[in-house]
Structure 1
Amino acid sequence: MIWGLCLLCLAGGLGAAHAGPLRKTGKTEDNTVQQQDVNVLMFGVIQFSESLKYAFETTEAKIAKISQTLMNHEGTLQKLGEETEQAAEEEKQVKEMIQLLQAQMAKQQAETKMTKDWLAGMEQEEVALRTKVKKLETYVDTSSSIKELQERAEEHSYVLKSLQHLTQFHKENIETLNEQLSKLQEMSENTT
């Protein structure tokens, strides 16, 4: 395309040089001047065409470089979009896990409170039974029916031992629940 433009300019320049009126002075000087003008015009056209060619090639290279940069940026943007979606999904999963852990912790706390209340009631009953046993022992000292009182004392002793075992079992259960609750709280704090 550039060479076609150059040839067109050259042909126009030559046509203008020859289309002008010829002087019949007979001087070779005029022909030399005209030839020099044509040479200058030709040199200018060649330089102009080289400049156009250089501008075209550099512009084409710049456009290719810009296109490559745009493609790289598009790839980076796509990758960032995918990473953002993945991070949002992971955040959603973490929130769901935290909600689940909080629900489990609330349930464990409720169970622990119920067990503590029950144990407190059992301890009160144990105190009441001990008081009854002491009264019975006092009564045994003053009573004439020792055998009957001994049987009652053995029954109460058995009941007390059973209550002590039951109380110990519930205390261990509360300790286990407290350890589980502590672990759940640590897991919840670590996930946030």
Structure 2
Amino acid sequence: MKMTWGLCLLCLAGGLRAVHAGPVRKTGKMADKAVPQEEVNVLMFGVIQFSESLNYIYETTEAKIAKISQTLRSHEGTLQRLGRQTEQAAEVEKQIKEVIQLLQAQMAKQQAQTKTTKDWLASMEQEVVELKTKVKKLEMYLNTNISIKELQERAKEQSNILQGLQHLTQLQKENVESQNEQLSKLQTMSETMT
């Protein structure tokens, strides 16, 4: 751009000199006299000042455009990073939803198992009560109809059965408590994730 303005100034200066250096007609009138050198110098100074102003405007505009381009590139990079972060956040959210669904399914399964175990324990307890009632009836029958030795053997047998049932009942209760603890932990994890 500087070179273009320099060429324009040279052409203008050359043209002014050619006008100044050309033959002057002598008509005897004041209006036909050549332009004084001083006016040419002033005109040249004005043209130079004008070209320098245009050059300064061009340079500052070019610098501003470069700065704007750099800012735009920086914003494009930021937008791309934000886009990637948004995609990653969506993927994480999807994974969290999948984990929550899995936990809910596991909790539903645990609750069903716990209910089944509780029902089975209630049934077992009922059977133990019924068995105790039968043992008492049997004891009453034995007291009246069977010898002491037979009574002792049957009592021992019934006692072993009762101990086995009590042990089994205790194991089932521990199993239910363990499942309840696991269910509670899963519910806590689900609540913290949501």
Provide the TM-score with structure 1 as the length reference.
Answer: 0.88
- For 1:134 and 1:18, the matched residues in 2 are separated by 149
Aligned equivalent of 1:6, options 5, 9, 14: 9
2:177 is matched with 175
State how far apart, in whole Å, the 1-side matches of 2:28 and 2:86 are. 86
Greater shift in the superposed pair: 126-135 or 143-152: 143-152
Q: Over residues 128-172 of structure 1, what are the superposed CA-to-partner deviations in whole Å (9 max), with x where a residue is unaligned?
A: 011111212222332343333332222222111111000000000
Q: 1:84 to 1:161 in 2, by over 3 A?
A: same
> 1:112: Cα distance to partner?
0.9
1:41-88 Cα deviation digits (max 9, x unpaired): 111100111011101110111111111111111111111111111111
Question: Hey, which bits of structure 1, 4+ residues long, moved more than 6 A?
Answer: none
Aligned residue number for residue 81 of structure 1:
83
> Contact 1:136/1:149 (CA < 8 Å) preserved in 2?
no
Distance 1:164 1:88 in 2: 54
Once residues 22 and 184 of structure 2 are traced to their aligned partners in structure 1, the CA distance between those partners, rounded to angstroms, is 106
Identity %: 65
Deviations 1:12-41 (A, max 9, x none): 3444455685455598xx55x522221221
**2:144 alignment partner, one of 129, 142, 145:** 142
Aligned residues: 189
- Cα offset, 1:182, TM superposition: 0.8
- Normalised by the length of structure 2, the TM-score is 0.87
8 A contact 1:136–1:153 mirrored in 2: no
> Aligned pair 1:128/2:130, yes or no?
yes
Could you tell me which runs of 5 or more consecutive residues in structure 1 were left unpaired when the two chains were aligned: none
Please name the residue that 1:187 is paired with. Answer: 189
